[in-house]
Each structure stands twice: as structure tokens, then as C-alpha cells.
Amino acid sequence: MDLFFISFSIFYVVNALFYNDDTMHNIYINKGSFDLEYQLPISIYSSLISMVLNKILELLALISNSIIEFKREKGKENLLKKKKELNFKIKVKSIIYFLVSFIFLICFWYYISMFGTIYKNTQMHLLKDTLISFGLSLIYPFGIHLLPGIFRIPSLADKKNKRACLYKFSKVLQLL
């Protein structure tokens, strides 16, 4: 849940970083109305940047891979030692995650509060841009995760293995 809120704050700040003189001038020319055609490319760029930052935080926050590796251990020897190592690894990752996210939140709070104070009339525009880019980031995984399946289904349906290259291509897409 913490990762979700940090993620939204990252989207909010990255969108605010894209507000420059051209954006302010466009808002002024449109008399305060929201210009989706102008803001959509900015929302897409900020969405991509925010997703990269979120992936970095996810590496620190999510510990399920470490637990799965521990469960897959075949050897019963040194199990107590491996358990202690896993606990230490989880504690270190959690501490680093919360320190980094706390530092991010303080910096984000300062930047957004200053932005909101200086540009009072653009706060709704910023919120709309943030919601658009956050919505794009929620839709994006559907396409990315469906794409390998689109190539894998025909390759698995082929009984003569003539489409083995499609299966290999789907495995490459799955890595992305």
C-alpha cells in the first residue's frame, strides 16, 4: 500500500517537473481550459519516467522473490543459516526502501508545495495530467503482459512444431 502512494506521488512530481514556460503559456492562451492534445505527449513521457522510478523502488520494496528462492532450496543443510541470511536481507531491503521513500516524500512535498504556491491557477491542470499519466501506467501492463500470450497461443496450438520461433519470440517478450 505504501508503494502505491509513493508511486502516485512520483507521478505527481514528475508531471510537475514538465511544467515550464511553454506549458504555462499554452494554459494562458487557452484561457485556463485543459488542452488534451497538448498535454497527452507530456503525460506519456512523464508516465514512462515515473514507471522507471517505480520499478527501482519495487526492487527494494518487494521481497517475494527472495522468499520464493528460499522455498526452492533443495538442500536441508544450513537451513537455519539460510533463514538468518534471508531475514537479514529482508530487513536491509526494508530499511533502505523506507529511508529512500521517506527522503523522496520530503523532497516531493517541498517541490509540490512550492509549485502550488507559485502557480495557484495550474493546480487543477497538474492534477488532471497526473491522473492521465497514472491511468496510462495502470493500462500499460495489460498490453505488455498480453503480448507474449498472443504469440505463444498459436505456437502451442501447432502440433507439428512449425511455429517454434513464435514461442521463442514470446519468451523474449516475456523478459521485457
pTM, entire model: 0.76
For 20, list phi and psi in degrees, rounded to 5. -130, -170
Question: Distances from the Cα of 59 to the Cαs of 63, 64, 75, 120, 174, in angstroms?
Answer: 8, 10, 27, 36, 18
Question: Can you give the pLDDT at residue 112?
Answer: 94
134 domain residue, yes or no? yes
Whether pLDDT at 54 is above 80: yes
129 domain residue, yes or no? yes
77 domain residue, yes or no? yes
Secondary structure of the chain: what % helix, strand, coil (to 5)? 85, 0, 15
Say how many domains are in the chain. Answer: 1
135 domain residue, yes or no? yes
159 domain residue, yes or no? no
Q: Which range of residues forms the domain containing residue 121?
A: 2-140
**Residue percentage of the chain with pLDDT more than 70:** 99
Give residue-wise pLDDT tens across range 76-118. 777 788 888 889 989 999 899 999 999 999 999 999 999 999 8
